[in-house]
Amino acid sequence: MTEGGIGRLLVASLHQAIADLLPTRLEFYEAWLHPTGLRNGRIGLAPLAAVLSFLRLEGEAYRLVTARAGEYAAEWTVGDLAGVRRSFIRAMPKRVRARLVMRLARALVRRTYGGSRAVVRWRKGKGMVDIRGSLFCEVRDRVKQPLCEFYASAIRRLMELFEVPVQVDTEQCRATGAGQCLMAVLVHLCVLIGCATVAAAQAGPPAPPSTSLQLVIPFENATGEPRVYWLGEASAVLLTDDLLALGAPAIRREDRLRAFDRLRVPPVATLSHATVIRLGQVVGAAQVVLGAFELQSGELVVRARTIRLDTGRISRELVERGALSEILSIYGRIARRIVPDSPVSAEQMEQGYPPLSAFEQYIKGLLAEAPEAQIAFLTQALRLSPAFQHARLALWEVQTEQGKHQEALDVVRAVPAGDRLARQARFLSAVSMLHLGQAQAAFAEFSVLNRLAPDPALLNNMGVAQLRRGAAAPGGRPVSFFGEAVTLDGSDSDLFFNLGYAYWLDRDAQGAVYWLREAVRRNPADGAAHYALGVALQATANAAEAAREKELARRLSSTYAEWEAKQPGVNAVPRGLERLKLGIDVTASLRVDAAVVAAEQRDQRAIATFHLERARRLFEAERDEEAIGELRRTIFLAPYESEAHLLLGRIYLRTGRRQDAVDALTIALWSDSGNAAAKELLDRIRTQLC
């Protein structure tokens, strides 16, 4: 075992998996998986052993992290393959394909560590994989569960990417005391030779439906030519607009950036295929578009590929070229090749193109970091093309962020009534009015737009305007508008927060509790919602749950402890917490925030489930203090997991803490009124107390 044999593939995949699943612990692990070492590929054996050792102490999260790392390693391995080799493997019959994919798996194992090998033996559609020299299984003391999940997940994901249905099981592991690490790979022959295969062979490779949601990633500047640095972002903006013009739903730039920010992904850096696939999955896309561009003797050459996320299939390369002045039409041709069946003509697409000089200034304005530079570029874009309304809306956003609300209002008011962005401009002008304290005028504008076409963002902002106008304002109660908003969009946690917050301001604590519960169910990481819920619960004499909600809020941010410090002994929520919406007419399929939150919740639920299972085993072993620790982790990740509160109540009862048991069981019933075990135990305790 030599330290020089540690593969960058292993280190990078572990780092990314920890960032995904244990983000609050990432800084701790970066003491060993430090960025400089990642770039240089110089992580030693001792630091890696430390990382794996500490990961095992995380409990069941170890298996989650190593499984996710294995998936990343598989995706990156496939992404690094030459297109010809990928196509060759996919063209093979599935029985042969499975063996070719296992060759990739063997190469992957070698890339993780110089001393690791995979020996594969096949018999009647079943492969036995002997992993030799696994770093994951180097432990001093035997463990109960195998530690080879990295390799099992990598093999499983490799097979998925090449559409080979398999079952991968770890049969032996050296960490458990066995003499070897042995995995069984069972290829499902009934699927390989059944009618589905015949039909697929007749139909050929599936084409993405025209209604599939597209995510376009900024293209790579292949030669690093500084003159066209702006074309990376321009590629994504142009292709997205072209796809939308052709009738294919695509994720807008602002939603893409919001998703990148939530997932801590750099918005313009070159991304691996695995990261791109993960991003697409998180935002709910069906297909991702990525590519590169370069200048060759003054000619622009653009190369693009698509990745189908349901199959992992990467398309053949789409290449278009032309003079630099033909940028807009070059990307238009790429878009048409992605959506070839669109009835929209090339002439119709080109009608929406701005002059190239104005478009360049617009993109540079989007990319500029300093607000002054952003305003200068966007203003120049409007000078060159006063009818370029996208630049006008972008300028509104910059000026709004700088607090220049009157200037922002003046900018969007210049959008003509007949323009296709006129409705959005009127919406943003009303937002500016709210910022300027013109709540009555803003409410009137939102109302007119909502009468023309109801929208949850409009109804939400009407509620905000009414909150700011005061209780006696004519036009309707804020809770009415927020209630209509959640009826139209039941996935946006902000709408539920506003509804619960409005009930609290109306001095209806029970209503506030109900709707704030719904807000934190949809977004468990919403600290303000947890704190407001805690305040409302305390007002309804639910002290135990109130304390828990406030503690969750304080764990999520120090802001809430500061609120309490400013008003010690006062049970109140500050004013001004209502949330404005800045996007209008966003169809449910394109609501990226909801998709990102849902993905985060899936990860949180998975980790919470593992902590709960570990707590159950500790409870059975009568290791109560350790079980309580695991249950607190579970409740932090899943505040309304009734079974966790029930188990906590059982532990408190066993250790003589009857009142704590009553509180925990009460919360278990609040979380799930159908929890019969919690009800029975709570009734029994109360009978004994009487």
Q: How far apart are CA 559 and CA 527, in angstroms?
A: 9
> Is residue 293 within 8 Å of residue 630, measured between CB atoms?
no
pLDDT tens profile 126-168 = 788 888 888 888 888 888 888 888 998 899 888 888 888 878 8
57 HSE (CA, 13 A, CB side): 8
Q: How far apart are CA 257 and CA 265, in angstroms?
A: 9
Residue 405, token pair as written in the block? 């609300």
Alpha-carbon 60 to chain mean position: 22
**591-689 has the same fold as 437-566:** yes
Q: How far apart are CA 228 and CA 360, in angstroms?
A: 10
CATH number of 214-353: 3.40.50.10070
For residue 110, count other CB atoms closer than 10 A to its CB: 17
Domains of the chain: which residue ranges? 3-203, 214-353, 437-566, 591-689
Q: How far apart are CA 66 and CA 52, in angstroms?
A: 9
For residue 116, count other CB atoms closer than 10 A to its CB: 22
**What is the β-pairing status of strands 220-221 and 287-296?**
parallel
Residue 408, token pair as written in the block? 């922002």
Looking at CATH, the fold of the domain delimited by 591-689 is given as 1.25.40
Architecture of domain 3-203: Alpha-Beta Complex (3.90)
**Strand (E) or helix (H) holding 103:** helix 94-112
Which position has the token pair 């002997």? 130
pLDDT tens profile 505-523 = 999 999 999 999 889 887 8
Classify the C-alpha dihedral 324-327-331-334 as positive or negative: negative
Strands (E), 84-148: 117-123, 126-132
More confident residue, 198 or 134: 134
Paired with 168 in beta bridges are 185
Q: How far apart are CA 278 and CA 297, in angstroms?
A: 36
Strands (E), 270-331: 287-296, 299-308, 318-323
**Strand (E) or helix (H) holding 168:** strand 166-172
pLDDT tens profile 250-282 = 888 887 887 776 665 655 446 666 677 777 777
CATH number of 437-566: 1.25.40.10
Q: What is the DSSP-derived secondary structure letter of residue 655?
A: T
Tally DSSP H helices, then E strands, for the chain.
33, 9
pLDDT at 191 (0 to 100): 38
pLDDT tens profile 93-114 = 877 888 889 999 999 988 888 8
Average pLDDT, integer, range 325-354: 84
Indicate the pLDDT class of residue 202, thresholds 50, 70 and 90: very low
pLDDT at 337 over 60: yes
Classify the C-alpha dihedral 104-105-111-114 as positive or negative: negative
Indicate the pLDDT class of residue 205, thresholds 50, 70 and 90: very low
